[in-house]
Amino acid sequence: MCEKKYIVRLTDAEQKVCAEVIRKLRGTGQKVRRAYILLKADADGLAWTDTQIAVLPGRDSNLRPTG
């Protein structure tokens, strides 16, 4: 398994802020992309590997609100 370069641990409040930025697409595209990456990298959350994150940012259908 790929060793993580940085360990990311978000508080509940930080997770909510990132989720809100993504859900509302608030801010620049770069801000939304970074919020998405932080949520995926969170060690207490999804804990994706660096390789998984590098392949998928911006291509996940969850970035676009439905309806």
Between 13 and 61, the higher pLDDT residue? 13
Q: How does residue 17 score in pLDDT terms, banded at 50, 70 and 90? A: very high
Instruction: Count CA within 13 A, CB hemisphere, residue 62.
Output: 13
What are the pLDDT digits (tens) for 22-61?
999 888 999 999 999 999 999 988 888 888 888 864 555 4
Q: How far is CA 43 from CA 15, 27, 38, 61, 64, in A?
A: 12, 25, 10, 22, 24
pTM as predicted? 0.72
Judged against a pLDDT cut of 90, whether residue 4 lies above it is answered with no
